[in-house]
Amino acid sequence: MALSYKKRKWLSLLVLLVAMPLYIVVAITLVGLIERPPFLLELAIYIGLGIVWIIPLKPIFKGVGQADHDNPVVYDDDHLKKW
């Protein structure tokens, strides 16, 4: 079942405002549990973790910034004909 545009929009907002900060805290905590690796390895770990979160959530974010295809806006130019 495909999510509607409105549901995807609200779900993406929820992910960005709630799940993303939680993911960041968990990632930093887990990396902090191991002995501090060399700088480049630590940077690679954080870059990898920064990319990994989006893979399962890509369908939610896809097309959210575009116009709503489920409920297109129709502009009525009849009111301009009076002028």
Q: Is 69 domain-assigned?
A: no
Tell me whether residue 35 is in a domain. yes
Q: How many domains does the chain have?
A: 1
Contacts of 40-46 with C-beta under 8 Å, sequence gap 24+, read none
Is pTM, for the whole model, over 0.85? no
Confidence of residue 83 (pLDDT cuts 50, 70, 90): low
**Helix (H, G, I), strand (E, B), or coil: what is residue 73?**
coil
Q: What's the pLDDT tens digit per position in 30-65? A: 888 889 889 999 899 899 998 998 898 888 888 777
- Tell me which of 22-26, 37-41, 65-69 is least confident: 65-69
Cα gap 64→8, rounded to integer Å:
7
Residue 70 lies in a domain: no
Euclidean distance between CA atoms 76 and 74, whole angstroms: 6
